[in-house]
Amino acid sequence: MCGIVGYNGKNKAVDILLDGLSKLEYRGYDSAGIAIRDKDITIFKAKGKLSNLKEKLANEKLKGTCGIGHTRWATHGEPNENNAHPHISNDGNITLVHNGIIENYQEIVEKLKRHNYKFYSETDTEVLANIIDYYYKKYKIGPIDAINRTMVRVRGSYAIAVMFKDYPDEIWVARKDSPMIIGEAKDGMYVASDVPAILKYTRNVYYIDNLEAACLKKDKVIFYDLNGDIIQKELKEIKWDLSVAEKGGYEHFMIKEINEEPDVIKKTISYYTGNDKIDFAKSNLNKEDLKNIKEIYIVACGSAYHVGVCAAYVIEDLTRIPVRVDIASEFRYRKPILNKDSLVVIISQSGETADSLAALREAKNAGVKTLGIVNVVGSSIAREADHVLYTMAGPEIAVATTKAFSTQLIVCYLLAIELAMVKEQITKKEYIELLKEINTLPTKVESILKDSTNTIQKLSSQFASIHDAFYIGRGLDYAISLEGSLKLKEVSYIHSEAYAAGELKHGTISLIEDNTLVIGIVTQEYIAEKTISNLIEVKSRGGYIVSIAPKNIDTSKASNFILTIPETSKYFYPSLTVIPLQLLAYYMTVSRGLDVDKPRNLAKSVTVE
């Protein structure tokens, strides 16, 4: 949700900022802007994608070696140049970029208006520039004092990078509930809202915590707490491979990331298993902790929530522990009744999703043990949860999640299997067999990619102009239908719905017309016949049925088209069925000529409510 990059060093800032912003564009792409400090501060902004800003800068000779940049996902005010960041205070004393939301900005606008401040934009960010300016001039103590007073005065979430006119060789930053890292390199200091923006220049980073600030000089960074006292931070090394933030010959990040799935699934399995055992020691989650769990809540948003829906089927079936799955934005406000011996699992790729983070805090306040299943190392959810199981997906750049989803599923299966063993619901032999089977998934996913990509590409061009699609299944097949449907609608803008196959007759079947596309997922042998009957009902009303099923389930009577997938344990089918669903969403979108990596109105990492 918006991207920030900043640089203070020996090299030309403009190239570094534009390069960094190009790696962050997945966080927002309504408008972009930079501010470069030479003698004075010069600001350039453009509406729309970063390419517009680049065009504007093509003939500019910007020599400054200090600057800040921003790519925006609009919250307050429409996406136009006036509302684009950087924003400046009334007399240009403060130049600032901001991620997040200032909840009490109206109240601060009123206060500042009483002191003759004027406002030119509709954003909540401009208010930050002016309130910092106000405190800076009122108390005359300096940047850290003005920033800290601002942090105490404003409510909401923010990561800010600020340039003070009076301090030409410094960039000041601060954050609360919005991610930000600081990179240290020989040539200078970097700040960014996400690792890919600076990975090319340095792997050495500091994580700045909530309500902390820092001053980036050309050769060092100084950290401060809310009292203005200097604090020490540990330099951490990012282990990600640089190539993961590049398209590497693929046309889009989404298809590249889909093709990375066999590898990241394998990495995630091997991270937690070995010698026929699951080992969660890295997360300090020991057998005793697991033994005492009587109830599980899984809380997440979007696709991560769908992983939770799948996980609930698997965990309940394998362990007989009751599982409740909640959408984080609902959970946080519905005063959930949480027993002390329950476990709250928060699933999040970014580890920064505002609602998921708030849900985690709710659970912690209730004194309940929390577990984060998180992809981004050092993110807020990873840091605040009692236990963390990291997914090994590496950086995910496409806005629509694919590979992170698949690795989250794997961690949930492993959690279910380990819980089942600890709770003595399965035998050692069954445990080993499940582990053996889970290890076959990377190869099976690879074979689906190899065998179905071309077929799905053709199918997609045939159906590219449809307006509606339906996804149906039962049990785990219904759970994965939810994800298939979301994937299609978010990138292709085709309206789609996922339905429990048995529920269609209760209303939705009236939407079926000649050639309505219906994806039937049929992997669960014990209820396959029932789903097949539902598909036949739809087909006889004109629906065009594409079924996804393993060889041992015959869907021919119910299908116009069959996508066959390899066989696996009933628990693991979502890992296989999701692949054709992701491919379908991808190719439908490409056939419609849309920007699949940056769907309209969306941004990766939703750090606002």
Catalytic residues: 2, 604
Q: Which run of H or of E encompasses 256?
A: helix 253-259
Taking the complex as a whole, how short is the minimal distance between the CB of residue 138 and ligand F6R, in angstroms?
Answer: 39
Distance between CA 15 and CA 510 in Å, rounded?
A: 56
Distance between CA 41 and CA 217 in Å, rounded?
A: 17
Regarding 301 and contact with ligand F6R (CB under 6 A), the answer is yes
CB contact at 8 A, 443 and 470: no
Distance between CA 479 and CA 313 in Å, rounded?
A: 8
Q: Mark the segment that binds ligand F6R (CB under 6 A) among 139-147, 277-285, 348-356, 552-560.
A: 348-356
Say which residue the tokens 């590409």 belong to: 457
Regarding 259 and contact with ligand F6R (CB under 6 A), the answer is no
Regarding 194 and contact with ligand F6R (CB under 6 A), the answer is no
**Nearest CB to ligand F6R, comparing residues 100 and 302:** 302
Regarding 349 and contact with ligand F6R (CB under 6 A), the answer is yes
Q: Mark the segment that binds ligand F6R (CB under 6 A) among 136-144, 300-308, 508-516, 538-546.
A: 300-308
Q: Mark the segment that binds ligand F6R (CB under 6 A) among 215-223, 234-242, 344-352, 439-447.
A: 344-352
Q: Which two tokens stand for residue 192?
A: 């960014």
CB contact at 8 A, 38 and 60: no
Task: Using the CB atoms, write b or e for 549-560: b if 16+ within 10 Å.
Answer: bbeebebeebbe
Say whether 144 sits in a helix, a strand or coil.
Answer: helix
CB contact at 8 A, 37 and 163: yes
Q: Mark the segment that binds ligand F6R (CB under 6 A) among 241-249, 274-282, 318-326, 343-351.
A: 343-351
Q: Which of 527, 544, 413 is nearest to 474 (CA)?
A: 527
Greatest Cα-to-Cα distance within the chain, rounded to the nearest angstrom: 80
Q: Mark the segment that binds ligand F6R (CB under 6 A) among 243-251, 329-337, 345-353, 554-562.
A: 345-353
**Nearest CB to ligand F6R, comparing residues 14 and 304:** 304
Cα first-last separation, the chain: 11
**In angstroms, how far is CA 91 from the centroid of its own chain?**
38
Taking the complex as a whole, how short is the minimal distance between the CB of residue 257 and ligand F6R, in angstroms?
Answer: 11
**Nearest CB to ligand F6R, comparing residues 302 and 336:** 302
Quick one: which of 8, 319, 353, 452 contacts ligand F6R (CB under 6 A)?
353
Distance between CA 49 and CA 38 in Å, rounded?
A: 26
Regarding 356 and contact with ligand F6R (CB under 6 A), the answer is yes
Regarding 414 and contact with ligand F6R (CB under 6 A), the answer is no
Distance between CA 172 and CA 144 in Å, rounded?
A: 8
Return the half-sphere exposure (C-beta side, CA atoms, 13 A cut-off) of residue 572. 26
Distance between CA 135 and CA 178 in Å, rounded?
A: 23
**Nearest CB to ligand F6R, comparing residues 382 and 400:** 400
Regarding 338 and contact with ligand F6R (CB under 6 A), the answer is no
- By CB under 6 A, what part of segment 428-457 binds ligand F6R? none
Taking the complex as a whole, how short is the minimal distance between the CB of residue 486 and ligand F6R, in angstroms?
Answer: 6
Distance between CA 508 and CA 495 in Å, rounded?
A: 14
Rg of the chain (C-alpha set)? 25
Distance between CA 521 and CA 500 in Å, rounded?
A: 10
Q: Which two tokens stand for residue 364?
A: 């912690």
Taking the complex as a whole, how short is the minimal distance between the CB of residue 41 and ligand F6R, in angstroms?
Answer: 34
Q: Cα separations (Å) of 297 from 128, 286, 316, 533?
A: 38, 19, 12, 33
Regarding 345 and contact with ligand F6R (CB under 6 A), the answer is no
Taking the complex as a whole, how short is the minimal distance between the CB of residue 358 and ligand F6R, in angstroms?
Answer: 12
Quick one: which of 4, 36, 304, 338 contacts ligand F6R (CB under 6 A)?
304
CB contact at 8 A, 349 and 375: yes
Q: Mark the segment that binds ligand F6R (CB under 6 A) among 14-22, 86-94, 342-350, 409-417.
A: 342-350
DSSP states of 68-108 = EEEEE--SSS-SSTTTSSPEE-TTSSEEEEEEEEETTHHHH
Taking the complex as a whole, how short is the minimal distance between the CB of residue 73 and ligand F6R, in angstroms?
Answer: 12
**Nearest CB to ligand F6R, comparing residues 302 and 550:** 302
**Nearest CB to ligand F6R, comparing residues 215 and 596:** 596
Taking the complex as a whole, how short is the minimal distance between the CB of residue 487 and ligand F6R, in angstroms?
Answer: 6
Q: Mark the segment that binds ligand F6R (CB under 6 A) among 74-82, 129-137, 170-178, 347-355.
A: 347-355
Say whether 538 sits in a helix, a strand or coil.
Answer: helix
**Nearest CB to ligand F6R, comparing residues 460 and 531:** 460
Q: Mark the segment that binds ligand F6R (CB under 6 A) among 111-119, 167-175, 202-210, 297-305.
A: 297-305
Taking the complex as a whole, how short is the minimal distance between the CB of residue 44 and ligand F6R, in angstroms?
Answer: 30
Regarding 348 and contact with ligand F6R (CB under 6 A), the answer is yes
- Total residues contacting ligand F6R by CB under 6 A comes to 15
Q: Which of 286, 435, 452, 465 is nearest to 369 (CA)?
A: 286
CB contact at 8 A, 257 and 245: no
**Nearest CB to ligand F6R, comparing residues 301 and 382:** 301
CB contact at 8 A, 50 and 71: yes
Q: Per-residue x/- marks for ligand F6R, 377-396, CB under 6 A?
A: --------------------
Say whether 474 sits in a helix, a strand or coil.
Answer: coil
Taking the complex as a whole, how short is the minimal distance between the CB of residue 565 and ligand F6R, in angstroms?
Answer: 21
573-591 and 403-422 helices, crossing angle to 10°: 170
Q: Per-residue x/- marks for ligand F6R, 51-90, CB under 6 A?
A: ----------------------------------------
Q: Which of 179, 200, 251 is nearest to 22 (CA)?
A: 200
**Nearest CB to ligand F6R, comparing residues 304 and 535:** 304
Taking the complex as a whole, how short is the minimal distance between the CB of residue 85 and ligand F6R, in angstroms?
Answer: 22
Regarding 605 and contact with ligand F6R (CB under 6 A), the answer is yes
- By CB under 6 A, what part of segment 513-552 binds ligand F6R? none
Q: Cα separations (Å) of 608 from 333, 356, 431, 534?
A: 15, 11, 41, 40
Give the other-Cβ count within 10 Å of 387's Cβ: 18
**Nearest CB to ligand F6R, comparing residues 202 and 492:** 492
**Nearest CB to ligand F6R, comparing residues 127 and 590:** 590
Regarding 504 and contact with ligand F6R (CB under 6 A), the answer is no
Binding site for ligand F6R (CB under 6 A): 301-304, 348-350, 353, 356, 400-401, 486, 490, 605-606
